[in-house]
Chain A
Amino acid sequence: MTSCQLFETDLEALHDGELSRDGAAALRRHVAECTRCAAALARLEAIGSALRERADPAPATDLWRGLAPRLAAIDQQLEEVRRVRRPMGAAVVRPSRWRRFGPPLAAAAALGGLTLLVFGRTPAARAQDVVRSLDTFGAPVVVLPDDGDRGSTVIWLLDGAEGDAEEGPDARGDGHATAP
């Protein structure tokens, strides 16, 4: 067994901050001298960054089908915002602070709610925690993090019809996410 093989699994632990101080120091010495392990460590760091950047992928065909029924709720929220908004009348009375700032604040709150409804999840804090490397042999992929509601992490490989017909460029995954 080569020294690289000895260190291979420790690279993940180093990346996750799970090595002891001595172990981390020894591995860092090895990485400083070994281009192969240095590249492997760089790939680990790159996949974390890539998944963070892709935390909110564009909805795929199936996702859209799931979201469509929620649009009625979004419409209802927007309607409530419209009702809150006062008509701009001829009154000379100086509006109260609530009247001045209430509608924009309500609109902002509704938009925030809308965003949560549409994207349906909190930021993908756990996606990069669970998925450490991902190679789909060139196929587009969507990774959905566990946001607490679902209770699981989803890795969804899109086949031809799903990927070609509906996916935008942002939703296309790295065919080889392990290779930056």
Chain B
Amino acid sequence: MRRRPKIELAAALILAVTLGLTAAPAAPAGETVEVHVTVAEVSDRPGAVEPGAASLYQALSRDFRYRSVRLVESRDFRLGLNETGSLRLPTGRWLTVKPRKMGPSGVLMAVEIEGRLRTTLRMPSHHEVLIGAEPFGDGKLVVTLEPRF
């Protein structure tokens, strides 16, 4: 019988990938989630990019042309499931985050910016979500969320 090494190789690769995926560690259930929150003002106004906002600037710089980033606040929440973390934004609105469920593809997180946004996010650990929330100062208020577990 004629051997087909390429097909066998492909099958082996598929098997290896499948095993790798199924063996991927699931997120721990029932534990707390650390949520790193930063609040920043991005602006067209010439100015500095503050050191604490460098990653935010880098993430935005490909699609947006803001020239200055000012870090307004940074906060770490350690939250259990269905526990709510709240932060008052400089615009007066409340930001609330609530981890609702852990799963293999990340934490299911309910996020609300009072009167502006209500969203549910499935976030892998260390995946950052940037929210351009509302006008603020000369520019825009940006909230970043990053869960760590």
Contact with B along A125-138 (1 / 0, CB 8 A): 00001111111110
Question: Which chain A residues border B59 with CB–CB below 8 Å?
Answer: 150-152, 154
Q: Roughly how many angstroms separate A152 CA and B130 CA in the complex, as a whole number?
A: 7
Q: Roughly how many angstroms separate A131 CA and B131 CA in the complex, as a whole number?
A: 12
Chain A's closest residue to B146 (CB) is A152
Number of residue pairs across A and B with beta carbons under 8 Å? 109
Question: Which chain A residues border B117 with CB–CB below 8 Å?
Answer: 134-137, 155, 157
Q: B interface, by DSSP: helix, strand, loop or mixed?
A: strand
Q: Which one of A10-18, A31-39, A92-100 is at the B interface?
A: A10-18
Q: Which of A135, A144, A146 contacts B118 (CB 8 A)?
A: A135
Q: Which of A63, A133, A155 contacts B129 (CB 8 A)?
A: A155
Question: Which chain A residues border B103 with CB–CB below 8 Å?
Answer: 13, 16, 18
Which range holds the interface residue count of chain B?
A: 20 to 34
Decide yes or no whether B134 CB sits under 8 A from chain A.
Answer: yes
Please state if A16 and B105 are interface contacts (CB–CB under 8 Å).
yes
Q: Which of B64, B105, B108, B130 contacts A65 (CB 8 A)?
A: B64
Residues of A whose CB lies within 8 Å of any CB of B are 9, 12-13, 16, 18, 62-63, 65-67, 120, 129-137, 139, 144, 146, 149-157, 159, 178
Residues of B whose CB lies within 8 Å of any CB of A are 59-66, 100-101, 103-105, 108, 115-123, 127-135, 140, 144
